[in-house]
Structures are given as structure tokens and as C-alpha cells.
Structure 1
Amino acid sequence: MSRKISNSDKSWVQVSNDSDFPIQNLPFGVFKKGVNDLPHVGVAIGDKVLDLHALYSFGYLNDLPFGKSDFQNAYLNDMMSHGKKACSELRLRIYDLLHEANTELSSSSEHANHALYNQSDVIMMLPIKVGDYTDFYSSRDHATNVGTMFRDPDNALLPNWLHIPVGYHGRASSIVISGEPVIRPKGQQKPNKDEPPVFGPCKLLDFELEMAFVTFEGKPLGESITTKEADDYIFGMCLFNDWSARDIQTWEYVPLGPFLAKNFASSISPWIVTLDALEQFRLEGPKQEPKVFPYLEYEGNKHIDIKLEVSLTPDGGSENTICKSNYKHMYWNMNQQLAHHTINGCNIKCGDMMASGTISGPTPESYGSMLELSWRGTKPLQLNDGTERKFIQDGDTITMKGYCQNDEIRIGFGEVSSKILPAN
């Protein structure tokens, strides 16, 4: 019987007070011990990774409905295919094995040494085989800022924005893991409205501060997931940098929306933090007016207090914190996004990824993109080496971090960090 999770509990694995990964978190990921080794499913605990394939081989997971192939696997999808209840029970079993009062694993140095590795010594892999990727546009502050810049400040939000969680289908094949460099995209741009378009490397490259959630297998085609049911279909969340080529997008997006400006790369953090680990950080969302349609109504606290920050590090330079925001600023929550996504009968598959859209807050330092931070390039950011940035330059590294914290506990997501390389 797994013990009940408490914020005061400790693990026999040493965990620093400022770690993103205490025993109350236990996010899932995929790692390799070496380049030529097979990938295994792992769980983060402090600065270690716990090898679930090793745990299974040693017989510690016998009472759970999982098999060897679920943990000796390049992705989490097979493990997730067992559903919410099974994955929650797995996390509780791992919690029990790592608890300081439990000696099952800690008393066997042979088993512990074969199951625990330093995170710094392993190679983290893309954790999810993403079948379909959807990007929402659910931050009111971000949508208002963009509407103010490009349209009418008095009517910044388009007529549909307060009625539906606006979104579009993105490209799953170009979602990459943190640490993988991103090559500057090329494409058509139209810098001068009275002149023909030009072709070349993107000049207005941007990041977008986002969170993404990953789904379990959904309902059959033709059926919908309600806001009340949504939590049962969401496995967990990760940090998401949805790179954007602003100049390419401005020229291409009419009439069908984002295309080449968005599908060249999106970067994610390697650890998927379960919804179970985030429950105590839920809070009330904003009052939604006008009143939403019944299928978008929800009960309880469905927004989450996740502190977010973005830094920019020039090639060979020092780190500059350029944004501090919070996921709680979202207007539309995950339950509403998933309910809207399926209201027409769209079928959700195990491993689908849905991103929040840029997360901006109400103050300039909380804006979640260079477009907003530099206000379309009119207010360049001053870096601590004396240089300026309107948008991202070659050699710049963008790093995003996120964590939940209260007086008792910190639950973090690690980071997603990527360096921009010159266009090919």
C-alpha cells in the first residue's frame, strides 16, 4: 500500500532545498546512460534519475499493470497508454520506494546503484512521441498587446477571442528537446509594404514563453471530453518554447494563419510533471465575461500558479533575465482548451501535445516574447554587456525555467534551453 504524499516527507536520496525535483514531484522522462545504450524511462529525484526499467527488472513494480517494454522504451507513450489511474499508482509506488522510512530499495546497495544515476551523466531524450500538436492563444494580456501593436488599440481583441479558446494545429515533427540547437529559418518576408517580397534568413526571430500539456488516450472520434472530465485525460505538463519568425509570419499568415513562421522548431523541457504533483498549486481563474457557453463552464480551481522566467545569454556572454511571468495569467485554462478541442468530436490520442500560447502578464517585465518586451522593436532591451536586443541574434541562447512554490514545497519543471545557429 503506497503511503499518502505529505509536503513534510523526505527521501533517502539527498535532495537540496532549492531542487525542482523533491520526492513530492517525481516527473517522468526518457534517458540514455550513453550514446549507444538503449533508452529507459526515468523519474527525477533531486539531481538523480531513477531508472524504472531497473526497478521493474528487480521486481519492485510487480503489482502494477506495466511490462518491461513500457520502461525500456524511447518514449513515455506506452507507459501512458495504461491510463491515468495506473500512472498515478506508479508514481505513488515510486514515492513509497524513495521515502526515507522505506528500506526496500535503499537497503540494497546493488539495486540502488543500478537504478540511480546522476542527471549530469545521462543523455535526456524527447520524452513523448508527439502525434499531434495544437497551439492555443489563451493569454489575454498577450493577445491584447499584439492586437494593440498591429491593429486597433481600442479593439485589440478580435471578436471571437472572449468566446472561444483560439488555437491552430502545429507541426509535431519539429518539436525538439532542450539543448538541441535551433537553426535560424529562411523564408519570404515583406519588410516594405510598397515593395515586392524578399527571400532570406528570418530577421525578426522570437521566442514564445509557453507551457504544454500531454494527453492520455481520449474518446472515440465523434465524442467530446467535458471540462469536468478533462483532468482524467491530462498526464502532465512541460515548459515549451514556441519559436516564431515574426517577419515571415506577417507576410504568410493571411488567410490561413501560421505556417513556416512556426513549424521550423518548438523546444520542450525533458521532464513531464504530472498533474497529480501540481494539484496543491491550483487557484481561481479570472472572471470570464461575456459568459461562456455551457460546454466551457467549469467548477473548482483549474488555473495553476507556475512562476516562469526567461533569460537570454549572448554567445560567450553572461545570462540576462529578460522576463518574469506566471502561468496563472492565462484566461482560458487547460480544461477549457481540451473541452473546446473535442467539442466537435475531434479524437485526442495518447501523446498529443497542446501548448498554452504565449504567457504574458499585465506588466512589461512579464511579457512572454521579444515582440512585446521590445514593443515591436521600438524599445530595445539593454543587456548587461552593453549591447541591445530587439529580437534574437545568432549565437544567443534562450533559457526558460518554471516552478511552483509555497511555504512548504517547490515543484519545478527544470529548464528548456536552446542556442540559435545561423541559417543554412
Structure 2
Amino acid sequence: MLLEGSTANAVGSQTLDLHRTCTKASQIFSSPGENFIQNKDTVKYGELIVLGYNGSLANGDKGRRRSRLALTKRLKANGVKPDVIHHISTPLVSKALSNKGHHSISYTLSRSHSVIVEYTHDASTDMFQIGRSTESMIDFVVTDTAPSGGGSGGSAQSTISRYACRVICQRSPPYTARIYAAGFDSSRNIFLGERAAKWRTPDGLMDGLTTNGVLVMHPTGGFSEDSSPGVWREISVCGNVYALRESRSAQQRGKLVENETNVLQDGSLIDLCGATLLWRTTEGLRRTPTLKQLEALRQEINAARPQCPVGFNTLAFPSLAQREVVEKKQPWVYSNCGHVHGYHDWGFRKEKGGVERECPMCRRVGPYVPLWLGCEAGLYLDAGRPTHAFCPCGHVCSERTVRYWSQILLPHGTHAFHAACPFCGTWLTGGHEQIKLIFQGPVD
């Protein structure tokens, strides 16, 4: 028994052994603390990539705060699994249980009734926690993503939970990775308060949703040249799949989607209400272009000596390391027509607020922006030539990659969805999300 005396007797009769009653219970993990295996035999489960940073945070990737994180097999398993469930009627007893050394999930049903599920060690799984908190139990620190990858910088206005979600990976092949809402705090507890969406399942167990929710979208056809966007779902604390709520923080849960699971697939998107992460499997990453291949494509374009059709000066994409610093030979594009030029300071249209310009080649009016190669290779669907750009930001990549991401509506706020450039996070222009680039070859 966990408690002694009359309190224990009051609780014990309502204590169930989840090993017997929860054969299908989801596996949930505890806090970190074990070293990753770091040698030639390292097993990599996959990588998480934060959309909007184009390969690196503005201030550089440091420690657990970075634009992408590889999840690798730990030296020692740190997974946990459901063990015992307690029905509590005394607040002091509830506090005593939740403060124990075991991991637990606390469901507050009313001021006089709580349900606490204890967890025990699971030697078959590794666990990784994701959230805004910089505390040691968080493996991947994620902050709000602003357009152009700026990041919010502060946490006071953040909509990302301090303990947003957890990913559980099987330590043995096929190394299945699963996503769960919420993460364990410094007391090894997940606490769902009185106002949180929670319910009792048909088999007598508990489940719930976090305040702003954890949304997941699995692509149709994997993450390849034949991929198409899937349907956004919400993941519960126990890893069940539900249709979206009416709004992000509504107390009424969506309908259970019984034929879908929380298993992450190559290309699955995880939205934390402020930042969206892309999951790439190890096998999937083997099919993506490397930075060396992207550099070869850049050099191939520059070797063709594209020229400005007006100034006749030779254009060149800057090196992948030279990001967001406009160079003299930088190619620019009229994003409504695709004609590529060198920089010039004419063509402004006063009726467009002095922002949009008229293309001297076709007379179409629209934004005029510098072109940048997408540097985050994990976002590419193929290694095709960089012939298309996102509008209006001007990030360039292969046609299939542009077409795929232009179709995906990413969650924004409590109930809105917008297409956005995966490299910088800029919202794509409605009805004109992409453009094929038209280069002028050398005239000599």
C-alpha cells in the first residue's frame, strides 16, 4: 500500500492494478537524466525540425534550444508505464500521492474528487519531452515561432505549454515513435486541473486534453514526391486521437477517431500552438538531399550565369552559410510573374502604397523580393532543381517541395489555419502561394 492508517483504507478499496485492467494503456515517459549513446553504433529514432528557421536559430543552436533535434537511443531506458490508479476524496492525500517519487498523472474532477494514475519504470522505451520550459526534464526547448524565424524571445505571452508534449520511442526495432500531449514537470507529475478537458473512458480509465492542445497531421502517402496533406487531429494525454475541438481551448473534446493512432510517420507535423514541428524518420532522412547536394545545386545555377534582363549584370545565389544578408549579385524576383532580376530601385507604384512594383518585362504589379535558397534539407521532398519560390518571401526549392508545402494549412491561433513557408514561417499569399522562376540566360 502507498499510504498508511485510515487514509490508506479509505483509498485502498478504490485502487486498481493497471497491469491487469489497462493492457492497451499508452506508454508514457518520465523526465530525462540519462546520457544518449554517442558512438558509431548509435541508434537514431528520428529528428524533430521546427518550421520557420531554415536550418538554424537566429542566435545559433545552443544545447537543447535549437531548430532541429535528433532523438537517439539512450544509454539506459527512462520510459514509464501505467501502474496503479487511485480515486482520492481528500486533497491532502492527493497532494501526498502526487508528490511521491513515482511519475503520475493527476485528474482533478472536483474539489473533493481526484484520480491519480501512477507510473512505473518501463525498460522497453525511451522518452523525450518537449516544451517551452528550460528545466532539465525538457529535452527540446521550443519557443514561439514568428514569421521569418525570428522567435518571440519572451515567454510571458507564449501560447506554448512549458511541458507541451512527449515522444516515446521503442528501444527495439522497428523503433516506433508515439506522440502524447503534456509532459511531466519537475515533480514528475502531469496535472489536469478542474477546468481542463478530461473524461472517463469506456474501460473505466481516465484521459484528457491540455489547455491549447497538441495537434498532429500525418501526410497521405508518406513524405515523398507523392505526398499530400492529411487531416489535423488532436492527441490526448494518453495518446488517443480525436477530431479537433471547436476552438483550440474549448472544454468539449472532439469525437474519438478509432481508426487512427498516435504513431509518428515520416513527415508527421506536430503543432504546439505557437510552433510546428516536423518529424523525420531515420529512413526518410536518407532520401532527403544533403547540404552538399543543395550546395551543388546552388553552384549549378550560378554556373549557368543567369543575368538581369534589364541591367545585364550576372546574378548569383549567395552561399548557404550567408543567410538573410543581401549581396550585390543577389537575384530578386517579381513574385506575381516570376521574372528574375538584379536589384533596382525603380518601378514603385504609388497606388499600391509605394510597396509593390511593376515588372519591366511583363508590366505585372506585385511584390519584389530577394531570392533565398531553402537551407533546411529535412523540409525537401526530393532533390530536384530549385526552380520555384514561395510567395511572398522568396525562398527557393524544388517544384514538388513548393507544391506540397503550399497545400498545407498550419494551425494559427485558436481556430485559424494558414499556408506558410516552411523555411521562414511567412504566410503565403492567398491564391498565389508559389511561382515558377523565369531566369534570363547570358547574352554573350
TM bucket, shorter chain: under 0.3
TM-score under structure 2 length normalisation:
0.22
TM-score under structure 1 length normalisation:
0.23
Bigger Rg, which one = 2
Q: Which of the two has greater helix per residue?
A: 1
